[in-house]
Amino acid sequence: MKYSATKVPAILKSRSTESLLDIWEETSRLRHTPEIPIMRAWLMDVIEERNPAGFEVWLDKDCRDETLRNYILA
């Protein structure tokens, strides 16, 4: 499923999965700005592409942001 209406920047696609998860966790701690949902949508697109099964389980379990790493790296 695509979460972003715009193309994911190549710089994100080139990052390691661990780095993407670091960025994901950091965005949950940042003050909300209009850019944060866009960044998170890009991150979800790339992370889901790398581990669709783990990502789907994470979504189905209605888990918190901090637990995404557990499902993606498992």
Give the whole-number percent of the chain exceeding pLDDT 90. 69
* Cβ(73)–Cβ(17) below 8 Å: yes
This model's pTM is above 0.85: yes
| Whether residue 47 has pLDDT greater than 90 | yes
Q: For residues 12-39, give the mean pLDDT.
A: 93
**Locate tokens 């901090």: which residue?**
66
Residue 13 binned pLDDT confidence (cut-offs 50, 70, 90)? very high
Residue with more model confidence, 63 or 9:
9
